[in-house]
Amino acid sequence: MKPRGGYNVNPIGGPSLDIEKLAPPKMLCIPLSSKHLTFSELSVADGDTVTCGQTLAVDPESFSVPLIASCGGVVSLTKLDGHIVIENLSCPSDPAPTPEVPLHAPYDAGHAAENRQKLLELGAWRFVSNARTHKVADPEGKPSAVIVSIVHLEPFVAHGGAICKDKVDELVRGMEHLQSLLEYQTIHLVMPDVKNALAQKIQETIRGHAWLKLSEVPLQMRYPFDNQTLLARHLGLFDKGGETVWYIPAAGVLAFDNALSYGQPTTTSRISLAGPVVKEPKHLEVKIGHPIADILDGRLNRDQDVRVINGGILTGVQIPAEQTGVGVECSGITVLETPTVREMFGWLRPGADRRSFSKCFLSALKGTFKENLSTSLRGEGRPCVSCGHCVEVCPAGIMPNLIHKYLFSDELELAQKLRTDLCVECGLCSYVCLSKIDLYDQMARAKVQIAEELGQPEDQQVTEEPETEVLV
């Protein structure tokens, strides 16, 4: 597939590569659900004493992926709805010493089934997703290829360079563990630049291994070409139409190494804390379940109305008031100001401080600059004006504006014919929309509705090019 579309948003408040390790809090508040996982079967009871790494609950719809206790302590199931709270924590400030391991992982393909089960039990398998559906891959499945990516292009999410910082040996060893689970499948390592220092060190470490292929992100690092579905399509891994491709982020490969080299679960995450109102946007290493209020305490520029988002500014979702801790799929915490006063005569302003895809503001004459984003729409919602901006940026080559009109008219069959299923939910259509229409939310809901009402199986999605020819 030839890459098309895409657009880079350049906001103020991106995180530096500095990593601050937070001390364990007074208690952990671990959410029982996230974007792709719902841990509905509890493995503990109220008042139980658990140890670090113990299974708290499992997701029966995702091959019983476990929710792991990131610290030992006493369980409370009644303190917060939708959470498992762990109090009286027994987490040493310094990690326990780990045994020395060889630089390279042993090749033990004969123990592949045993190692897959171990990865599942230690919580590392939750990082392995099916590139078609973005859901957890079958631990007993056989992929046609594997994608490992350290590229994260959405603004404000954890940067791959920070996740892998000082962990090149662990990254390589984790990929070797991954390769031992496979037969002859190629692992495609996606990097922003195959000639940078990190890529060169990886190449030196794995010299002679034919199973690893380094690939650069297409279209000059344009968002959202780090998306797993797009990567699989651009690498030609969906050519036959029925392939299963595994996708594993850098954090998942490090979790593989932690599980198979040391026999330990992954109990911490490296996440970003970013946004224009954050004093020092950076990366944090936190325990799963670390209270979000504790993370934000003293880290904002001033007391103001803010919106706290789980993830980046394009695909992240507002963290609901009832969620109080960092979830297992959290890649970053974004904080945006929520203006309380309406901008007077905003439509008269020349827009020197606003970036616009349509180049209709004075800022088009300034060249590249960082924009101070907030939750303000900076305009009123209105019907679609058929400007075509959403079509131009869409990396899937579909027509969100026309699909929107069919959905508004409840014409699901016509929306399906325009290949709504190819949408990768990158959020760019909403970002560039002159009419302030939340096309991202409409597309996501429409895909689910079409699958349920028109019976389109998920494993038949994103296999073909759209029938509509789009000129970009």
Ranges 40-54, 231-245, 362-376, 458-472: which has the least confidence: 458-472
Residues in the chain: 472
**What residue has token string 């671990």?**
30
**Percentage of the chain lying above the pLDDT 90 cut:** 62
Domains and CATH numbers, the chain: 19-96+267-337 (no CATH), 111-262 (3.40.50), 380-472 (no CATH)
Helix (H) or strand (E) holding 233: helix 228-234
What count of other Cβ atoms lies within 10 Å of the Cβ of residue 365? 8
Of the listed ranges 170-184, 349-363, 378-392, the one predicted with least confidence: 349-363
Could you tell me the two tokens for 353?
Answer: 């401080």
pLDDT over threshold 50, residue 472: no
What are the tokens at 130?
A: 């099916």
Which region, left, alpha or beta, applies to residue 465 given φ > 0 means left and ψ of -120 to 50 means alpha?
A: beta
| Cα(230)–Cα(322) distance, integer angstroms | 34
pLDDT for residue 197 is more than 90: no
Q: How confident is the model at residue 441 (pLDDT cuts 50, 70, 90)?
A: very high
> Taking 90 as the threshold, does the pLDDT of residue 287 lie above it?
yes
| Nearest residue to 7 (alpha-carbon basis) of 170, 188, 220, 149 | 220
pLDDT averaged over every residue in the chain: 87
* Whole-number pLDDT of residue 378: 72
DSSP string covering 147-203, please? EEE----STTSPPHHHHTTT-HHHHHHHHHHHHHT-SSPPEEEEES-TTSHHHHHHH
Share of the chain above pLDDT 70, in %: 90
Among the listed ranges 42-56, 180-194, 393-407, 445-459, which one has the minimum average pLDDT value? 445-459
Question: How buried is residue 357: exposed, middle or buried, by Cβ count under 10 Å (0-12/13-18/19+)?
Answer: middle
Torsion, Cα of 161, 117, 229, 60 (10° steps)? -120
Name the helix (H) or strand (E) containing 286. Answer: strand 282-287
Minimum mean pLDDT range among 8-22, 194-208, 411-425: 194-208
Residue 213: beta bridge partners? 188
pLDDT at 459: 45
- Lowest average pLDDT, out of 342-351, 370-379, 432-441, 448-457, goes to 342-351
Are the CB atoms for 186 and 149 separated by under 8 Å?
A: no
Largest CA distance in the chain: 70
pLDDT at 457 over 60: no
- Give the DSSP letter string of 383-432: ------HHHHH-TT---HHHHHHHHHTT-HHHHHHTTGGG----SHHHHH
116-125, 241-250, 311-320, 449-458: segment of lowest average pLDDT: 449-458
Q: pTM here?
A: 0.91
The band of 469, judged by pLDDT with boundaries at 50, 70 and 90, is very low
The angle formed by the CA atoms of residues 34, 35 and 37, to the nearest 5 degrees, is 60
320 cis-preceded (ω within 30 degrees of 0): no
What residue type is 398 in one-letter code? I
Indicate whether 244 pLDDT > 60.
yes
Looking at the predicted structure, is the pLDDT value of residue 31 above 70?
yes
* pLDDT exceeds cutoff 80 at 297: yes
CB 248 within 8 A of CB 132: no
What's the Cα-to-Cα distance from 289 to each of 33, 58, 160, rounded to whole Å? 12, 16, 22
The helix or strand, by DSSP H or E, that contains position 310, with its residue range, turns out to be: strand 306-310
pLDDT (tens digit, 9 = 90+) per residue, 123-180? 999 999 999 999 999 999 999 999 999 889 999 999 888 998 889 889 989 998 999 8
Are β-strands 41-42 and 55-59 bridged in parallel, bridged antiparallel, or unpaired? antiparallel
Q: Supply 31's token pair.
A: 């959410």
Q: How confident is the model at residue 207 (pLDDT cuts 50, 70, 90)?
A: low
The reported pLDDT for the residue numbered 355 is 78
Closest to 160 (Cα-Cα) out of 253, 289, 34: 253
Q: Report whether pLDDT(346) > 90.
A: no
Residue whose C-alpha is closest to residue 239's, from 465, 459, 469, 468: 465
Beta bridge partners of 84: 30
The predicted pLDDT at position 468 comes to: 41
Both structure tokens of 422: 């190819």
Q: At residue 258, does pLDDT exceed 90? A: yes
Ramachandran bin of 83, using left for φ above 0, alpha for ψ from -120 to 50, beta for the remaining angles: beta
